[in-house]
Amino acid sequence: MKSNFFEVLRPGINSTFQDLGRENFYHIGLPFSGAMDNRNYLLSNTLVNNKYEAAIEFAYQGPLLKYYGKSTVIAVTGDVNFSITKKNKKLINGECYKNYVLENEDELDIISTNKSVYGYLSVSGGFVLEKILNSYSTFSRAKIGPFKGEKLFVNQKILINKTSDFKTQKKIKYVNTKIEYIRIIKATNFDFFSKKAVENFLNKEFIVTKLTDRMGMRIKGPIIENIKEKNIRSEGIVKGTIQIPPDGDPIIMLSDHGTIGGYPKIGVVISADYDKLVQLVPNTKIKFKLVNLPEAEKIYEIYRLETDNLINQIK
């Protein structure tokens, strides 16, 4: 049997395999990892009739891939410019949230994301990958994941599972809306900060800096003054935790964060706002808004229902 595969002609800036994430390894220092924007990961899979297969996550510039094999179906999600060049040189401008048939020797060029960071590529049936510690997710810092935890690289051959007969055209209307503010819950060291600092934190604008990646997001605004202790005993942190290091500039912990940390925590981003938070490009202005736990739970329930509705629309 002839194999079906992608050849990587250009890997893109930060292209990795991701899935729902790696559970139950925080206690040995492994972050959750997984797709940064969970909703877009789920939608790309659903558009090609997959459930939780690994997708290729790319940031800013995506990969240029050449396909060899029996025709198959792909989909791209996010806010992404991409094109497909057919074997006869015919160029198709790609639309996100719509699936496409790829044929032997077609080229898929994921050119760039649009005023957002991450996008996802799924292929019907999924890629042929090895699960590492129960997950396809890549944690490149510790080289954990398929292909020895490496990001995509030039000339890499990525096999795909037996092409299914699934060829149904699927499409949804979905717009990645921007959020006006990031909703947070008070964290355990909220009272370490001066009244003025808390006021600034909740009312002033912050700017997303370039020091942002899958591990964390550094933001800049008014200095958040700590009036108690600048360091605490190292303890566990979770995705979305906002730490204030001694310099007073907040760091938001993202999916590949260190599992323990010694900086005081002022807040934690609510689960429902995480997908939108990670899509903010450097220089975006953001504001925080405080909510309580029951509110956060209610907002999450809405987020979950919206996601389920989108998935059901595709099915």
Partner 1 sequence: MIKNILNLGDSSIYYDFGEQINKETNKKVISFFNSLKKANLEEIINLTPSYNKLIVSFDLKKTNFIELKKKIKDIKTSNIDEQKNKKIEIPICFDEEFFLDKERLIKKLKLSAEEILEKYLNKSYFCYMTGFVAGMPFLGDISKELRTDRLKTPRLKVPKGSVGITEQFSNIYTFESPGGWNIIGKTPYKIFNSNNKANPVLINPGDNVHFFPISKNEFLKLDEK
51 contacts partner 1 (rule: CB under 8 A): no
> Could you say which residues in the range 230-249 bind partner 1, by CB under 8 A?
233-238, 240-241
Contact 72, 99 (CB under 8 A): no
Minimum CB–partner distance for residue 295 and partner 1 (Å): 9
Binding mask 31-50 for partner 1 (x = CB under 8 A): -x------------------
Q: Kindly give the pairing relationship between strand 182-186 and strand 288-290.
A: parallel
> Could you say which residues in the range 180-219 bind partner 1, by CB under 8 A?
185, 187-188
176 contacts partner 1 (rule: CB under 8 A): no
- Which CB atom, from 80 or from 286, has the smaller least distance to partner 1? 286
52 CB-side CA count, 13 A:
11
Binding mask 138-157 for partner 1 (x = CB under 8 A): -x-xx-x----x--------
Which candidate, 140, 172, 171, 146, places its Cα nearest to that of 159?
146
Distance CA 214, CA 254 (A): 6
Contact 17, 153 (CB under 8 A): no
Contact 21, 33 (CB under 8 A): yes
Sheet holding 285-286, edge to edge: 285-286, 206-212, 216-220, 251-253, 241-243, 265-269, 182-186, 288-290
Distance CA 232, CA 270 (A): 23
Minimum CB–partner distance for residue 139 and partner 1 (Å): 8
* Stretch binding partner 1 (CB under 8 A), from 41-49, 202-210, 216-224, 289-297: 289-297
CA 281 to chain centre: 13
Tell me how far CA of residue 269 lies from CA of 28, 52, 184, in angstroms. Answer: 24, 25, 4
- Which CB atom, from 68 or from 300, has the smaller least distance to partner 1? 300
* Stretch binding partner 1 (CB under 8 A), from 60-68, 76-84, 92-100, 268-276: 268-276
Contact 36, 277 (CB under 8 A): no
122 contacts partner 1 (rule: CB under 8 A): no
Minimum CB–partner distance for residue 258 and partner 1 (Å): 5
Interface with partner 1 (CB under 8 A), residue total 41
Contact 36, 15 (CB under 8 A): no
302 contacts partner 1 (rule: CB under 8 A): no
> Could you say which residues in the range 59-98 bind partner 1, by CB under 8 A?
none
> For partner 1, which residue of 64, 121, 254, 270 counts as binding (CB under 8 A)?
270
Minimum CB–partner distance for residue 83 and partner 1 (Å): 36
Q: Kindly give the pairing relationship between strand 64-68 and strand 107-113.
A: antiparallel
- Which CB atom, from 48 or from 187, has the smaller least distance to partner 1? 187
**Residue ranges binding partner 1 (CB under 8 A):** 23-30, 32, 132-133, 139, 141-142, 144, 149, 185, 187-188, 233-238, 240-241, 258-261, 265, 268-271, 293, 296-297, 300, 304
